[in-house]
């Protein structure tokens, strides 16, 4: 009898090479590329296509992203219900601590023989049938106790990926791993491509929970011991599961490749006979769409005049190019990126420079997503700040107050339930209310459709840290 196949989706990381679309508060897995579904939603669909009907789907993510992730899952697969399990990291520690902890939890709940299928949430795979075939091969090998990685046949001498060198054949499309190779230089990557014995390391894995635990016991015993301490301090019966903060932060930041896969004696690689992209750069994003006759790829309202081999993404305005070639141009409401396509890996340097300046565009878009909905900054001046708030049906903002600003709310869509001080009342479309400084207040959507309000803040400071929460449905009150 086959062991239970349990998908484990990795949904973390800021995706800094895809700035300004991907930002820390709304990273790459939530991006929608060439359609209505996000990368995360498409990953969930692939996971469900191979998971056993009764199997849960585990998602490793940061606590700041859990509400966005849950909303994506409800919209993508409402039938999943309680089978969606969330494991929340208090901070980033790369993939090894998170996956070892997931293995410890899955082994407790489903047995050490349960097969974990590890899928990053920010990959693009279109050929689902070929994906299912590769997973079936990997599952069969994993049930023998081996750790399995998926290798993608290179299509170019890529220097941004790690490689896996094939060893002895284990069966059709499956091999022992001879060795893992770090990101090579151009000449080495060209040799790998010509030899045909090296595949891109995709970052997808398949192994039994118990096999990963035992491999970690041999390869990184200190990390495993720390993960076991964290597991023992974690309440696994809660949902979502929140890893114990102190024990988790004591773990080293290291990838599963370095910590376990490259040191384990029994590792296999399965050929991934499907289209694959880690969507890790703007060049990779461009390759997701077909070029026109001049080699240009574009999304949004764009005009190309005497331009070729360019990639343009226009989010909120018309973007026109004249007489240029080989550029990527990414436009959002508050930032524009222009770079040669061959320099797409250097976008991270822009983010580093902005981070050093503590620039808000590293963290937030003009539209900021919250558990209750979203807000869009319409004006941000020294003496006022204007936002458009959208609150989803049944959701409610925290009971809060501010010491340095007052607010004025005007409903432009729907009916809002408002508390100011001790008074509660309904505001209809076109009606307004004023919230003085230090006044307790709360906003709620009691209806079945989105509501929208214009919020005008006045005072001498408008930062998000001028919020004192007294009650909050979403666990955002410290302690």
Q: Where do the domains of the chain lie?
A: 5-272, 284-351, 367-471
The whole-number pLDDT of residue 346 equals 93
**Tens digits of per-residue pLDDT, 205-237?**
999 999 999 999 999 999 999 999 999 999 999
Per-residue pLDDT band at 1 (split at 50, 70, 90): low
Per-residue pLDDT for 26 more than 70?
Answer: yes
CATH topology of domain 367-471: Jelly Rolls (2.60.120)
The helix/strand/coil state of 264 is coil
The whole-number pLDDT of residue 3 equals 86
**More confident site: 393 or 344:** 393
The whole-number pLDDT of residue 170 equals 92
The whole-number pLDDT of residue 479 equals 52
Give the pLDDT mean for 351-364: 92
Per-residue pLDDT for 399 more than 70?
Answer: yes
Give the pLDDT mean for 364-381: 91
What are the angstrom distances between the C-alpha of 74 and each of 71, 238, 295, 439?
5, 19, 38, 35
Per-residue pLDDT band at 188 (split at 50, 70, 90): very high
Give the pLDDT mean for 411-416: 97
Asked if the 5-272 domain carries CATH number 3.90.550.10, the reply is yes
**Tens digits of per-residue pLDDT, 69-85?**
998 999 999 999 999 99
**Tens digits of per-residue pLDDT, 442-475?**
999 999 999 999 999 999 999 888 999 999 998 8
The whole-number pLDDT of residue 172 equals 87
For 373, other C-beta atoms within 10 Å of its C-beta total: 19
Annotate the chain with three-state secondary structure: CCCCEEEEEEECCCCHHHCCCCECCECHHHCECCCCCEHHHHHHHHHHHHCCCCCCEEEEEEHHHHHHHHHHHHHHCHHHHHHEEEEEECCCCCHHHHHHHHHHHHHHHHCCCCEEEEEECCCECCCHHHHHHHHHHHHHHHCCCCEEEEEECCCCCCCCCCEEEEEEEEECCEEEEEEEECCCCHHHHHHHHHHCCEEEEEEEEEEEHHHHHHHHHHHCHHHHHHHHHHHHCCCCCCCCEECCHHHHHCCCCCCHHHHHHCCCCCEEEEEECCCCECCCCHHHHHCCCCCCCCCCEEECCEEEECCECCEEEECCCCEEEECCECEEEEECCCCEEEEEHHHHHHHHHHHHHHHHCCCHHHCCCCEEEECCEEEEEEEECCCEEEEEEEECCCCECCEEECCCEEEEEEEEECCEEEEECCEEEEECCCCEEEECCCCCEEEECCCCCCEEEEEEEEECCCCCCCCEEEECCCCCCCC
The whole-number pLDDT of residue 25 equals 85
The whole-number pLDDT of residue 477 equals 82
Per-residue pLDDT for 131 more than 90?
Answer: yes
Mean per-residue pLDDT of the chain: 93
Per-residue pLDDT for 150 more than 90?
Answer: yes
**Tens digits of per-residue pLDDT, 28-47?**
999 887 667 899 999 999 99
The helix/strand/coil state of 31 is coil
Per-residue pLDDT for 147 more than 90?
Answer: yes
**Tens digits of per-residue pLDDT, 275-322?**
999 998 999 999 888 999 999 999 999 999 999 999 999 999 999 999
Percent of the chain with pLDDT over 70: 99
């Amino acid at each position: 009898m086959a062991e239970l196949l349990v998908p484990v989706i990795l949904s973390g990381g800021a995706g800094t090479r895809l700035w300004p679309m991907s930002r820390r508060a709304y990273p790459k897995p939530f991006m929608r590329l060439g359609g209505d579904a996000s990368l995360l939603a498409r990953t969930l669909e692939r996971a469900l296509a191979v998971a056993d009907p009764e199997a849960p789907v585990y998602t490793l993510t940061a606590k700041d992203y859990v509400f966005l992730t849950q909303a994506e899952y409800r919209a993508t697969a409402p039938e999943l219900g309680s089978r969606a399990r969330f494991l929340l990291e208090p901070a980033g520690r790369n993939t090894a601590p998170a996956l070892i902890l997931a293995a410890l939890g899955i082994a407790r709940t489903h047995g050490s023989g349960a097969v974990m299928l590890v899928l990053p949430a920010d990959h693009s795979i279109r050929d689902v049938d070929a994906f299912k075939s590769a997973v079936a091969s990997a599952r069969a090998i994993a049930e023998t106790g081996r750790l399995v990685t998926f290798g993608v046949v290179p299509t170019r001498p890529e220097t941004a990926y790690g490689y896996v060198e094939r060893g002895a054949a284990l069966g059709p499309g499956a091999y022992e791993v001879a060795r893992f190779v770090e990101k090579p230089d151009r000449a080495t990557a060209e040799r790998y491509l010509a030899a045909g014995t090296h595949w891109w390391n995709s970052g997808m894995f398949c192994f039994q929970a118990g096999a990963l635990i035992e491999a970690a016991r041999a390869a990184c015993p200190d990390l495993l011991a720390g993960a076991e301490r964290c597991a023992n301090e974690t309440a696994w019966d809660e949902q979502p599961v929140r890893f114990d903060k102190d024990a988790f932060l004591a773990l080293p930041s290291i990838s599963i490749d370095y910590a376990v896969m490259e040191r384990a004696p029994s590792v296999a690689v399965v050929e991934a006979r499907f289209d694959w992209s880690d969507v890790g750069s703007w060049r990779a994003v461009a390759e997701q769409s077909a070029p026109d006759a001049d080699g240009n790829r574009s999304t949004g309202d764009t005009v190309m005049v005497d331009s070729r081999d360019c990639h343009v993404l226009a989010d909120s305005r018309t973007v026109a190019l004249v007489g240029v070639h080989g550029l990527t141009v990414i436009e959002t409401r508050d930032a524009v990126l222009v770079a040669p396509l061959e320099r797409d890996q250097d976008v991270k340097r822009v983010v580093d420079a902005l981070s050093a300046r503590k620039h808000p565009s590293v963290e937030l878009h003009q539209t900021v997503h919250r558990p209750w909905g979203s807000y869009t900054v319409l004006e941000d001046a020294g003496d006022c700040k204007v936002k458009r708030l959208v609150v989803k049906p049944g959701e409610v903002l925290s009971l809060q107050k501010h010491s340095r600003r007052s607010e004025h709310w005007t409903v432009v869509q729907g009916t809002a339930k408002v508390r100011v001080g001790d008074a509660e009342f309904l505001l209809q479309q076109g009606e307004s209310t004023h919230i003085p400084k230090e006044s307790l207040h709360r906003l709620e959507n009691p209806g079945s459709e989105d509501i929208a309000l214009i919020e005008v803040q006045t005072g001498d400071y408008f930062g998000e840290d001028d919020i004192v929460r007294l009650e909050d449905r979403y666990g955002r009150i410290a302690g």
